[in-house]
Amino acid sequence: MAEFIDPAIVPKVTLPSGEEVPCMGMGTFGSDRVSAEEVSAAVAGAIRSGYRMFDCAACYGNEHQIGEVFEAAIKEGVVERKDLFIMTKVWNDMHRKVEEACTKSIQDLKCDYVDLYFIHWPFPNYHAPFCDVDSRNPDSRPFSVEEFMDTYRQCEELVEKGKIRYIGISNMTIPKLEAVLPLMKIKPAACELELHPCFQQQEQYDYLVAHNIQPVGYMPLGSPRRPERDICPEDVADMQTPEMQEIAKAHGVHPALIALKWAHQRGEISIPFSVHNYVSNLKCVTEDPLTDEEMAKIGTLEKGNRLVKGQVFLWEGAKDWHDLWDEEGYIVK
Ligand SMILES: NC(=O)c1ccc[n+]([C@@H]2O[C@H](COP(=O)([O-])OP(=O)(O)OC[C@H]3O[C@@H](n4cnc5c(N)ncnc54)[C@H](OP(=O)(O)O)[C@@H]3O)[C@@H](O)[C@H]2O)c1
């Protein structure tokens, strides 16, 4: 029997509504390498180890299998539905049919409602699962405030209908946030963005906190087994930097646990994926914190190491992947 970490001792973050949720959830993207069955088996183990938050997505192709696991855990009395915080996302090809997408996720996840529903990407540009990095969809277009807000309005209606409790946004930039936040009736509770020691996105992080939006860090370990399409020669392996190795050695743990402690102490929710190490990942935020000096040292590791560059979402006429991230401070069209 795997070790059980009492959910009551897992540190919490407070959402803008005042609700407290765990500072760590489990990612469920198999990265085109881990099968739906293996991922859902890990989710089953994770619930029994004390995880209560799960980061799902329609495009991960495993919600049906994960739903079986949620249903079984509830039937067996391991948890009640209200104890779980289930997050999922509308995929890019469903931006005009958000309710249909959400209803399908609810059915697949067998969860009655979604706690936090993210707009996975801020544009409808679609790529097929398992596609390679050079594939382009001729229908792709640059970000449009009107199109985004149409998708967002549909999410607001889902809140009003009780199908989702909170709205989330993901893969945003400050210029895009500036354009859309004033137009929203219901503010987003959280924003999912890539965050790991060598890619800290401090400016967007601070912007989110200042606007009372909870940052949720994806790829908190620098995703060592990410899909082939997301691997570039210039990428840095966060956990192999001498600083991370040295701090890990001082604590007698794997650098992954240092990255997760750092994320937690910084204030974000992190959602590491794991089929082998999920127990130690959850446990690490309940014990042996990093010192202020260690936090400061990790703070110096920023290397602009964006791993999800998003090439497959580029539109006709776009220069390169930098165009997706509005690096000059305006929305690139
Ligand atoms: N919103 C978005 O656009 C978006 C984009 C990407 C990802 N995400 C979400 O973020 C989640 C996490 O991202 P990710 O899965 O790409 O990357 P990650 O969590 O940074 O890395 C996962 C990898 O790290 C390994 N690992 C986990 N814990 C470890 C430990 N304690 N020691 C050593 N190795 C460890 C895992 O291997 P083992 O399985 O062997 O432990 C797995 O190969 C995804 O699953 C998904 O839910 C969201």
Span 10-54, pLDDT tens digits: 999 999 999 999 999 999 999 889 999 999 999 999 999 999 999
In a domain, 6, yes or no: no
The CB-side HSE value for 293 (13 A sphere, CA atoms) comes to 4
Nearest ligand 1 atom to alpha carbon 42 = 39
Which residues on neighbouring strands pair with residue 90, listed in sequence order? 119
**Whether 60 is catalytic:** yes
In a domain, 10, yes or no: no
Nearest ligand 1 atom to alpha carbon 192 = 1
In a domain, 111, yes or no: yes
Task: Answer yes or no: is the C-beta of 55 below 6 A from any ligand 1 atom.
Answer: yes
In a domain, 319, yes or no: yes
Q: Which two tokens stand for residue 328?
A: 């000059």
Q: What are phi and psi of 321, to 5 degrees?
A: -60, -20
Crossing angle for the helix pair 36-49 and 63-75, to the nearest 10 degrees: 30
In this structure, the residue with its CA closest to atom 11 of ligand 1 is 27
Domain containing 142: what range? 19-232+263-277+304-325
pLDDT in tens, 238-295: 999 999 999 999 999 999 999 999 999 999 999 999 999 999 999 999 999 999 999 9
What does the pLDDT average to over 210-222?
98
Task: Answer yes or no: is the C-beta of 281 below 6 A from any ligand 1 atom.
Answer: yes
Task: Answer yes or no: is the C-beta of 275 below 6 A from any ligand 1 atom.
Answer: yes
CATH assignment at residue 41: 3.20.20.100
Distance between CA atoms of residues 107 and 113, nearest Å: 9
Domain count across the chain = 1
In this structure, the residue with its CA closest to atom 37 of ligand 1 is 274
Q: What are phi and psi of 303, to 5 degrees?
A: -135, 15
DSSP state of 333: -
Whole-number pLDDT of residue 1: 60
In a domain, 253, yes or no: no
Task: Answer yes or no: is the C-beta of 222 below 6 A from any ligand 1 atom.
Answer: yes
pLDDT of 188 > 80? The answer is yes
In a domain, 130, yes or no: yes
254 a known binding residue?
A: no
Kindly give the distance from the C-alpha atom of residue 314 to the centroid of ligand 1, in angstroms, as a whole number. 24
Nearest to 152 by CA among 175, 129, 173, 177: 177
What does the pLDDT average to over 118-125?
96
Residue that the structure tokens 């050695």 belong to: 249
In a domain, 83, yes or no: yes
In a domain, 32, yes or no: yes
- The model carries a pTM of 0.97
In sequence order, the 6+-apart residues with CB closer than 8 A to the CB of 177 are 169, 191, 204, 207, 208, 211
Task: Answer yes or no: is the C-beta of 221 below 6 A from any ligand 1 atom.
Answer: yes
What does the pLDDT average to over 57-65?
97
**Which one is catalytic: 51, 60, 126, 207?**
60
Kindly give the distance from the C-alpha atom of residue 30 to the centroid of ligand 1, in angstroms, as a whole number. 8
Nearest ligand 1 atom to alpha carbon 255 = 32
Percent of the chain topping pLDDT 90: 91
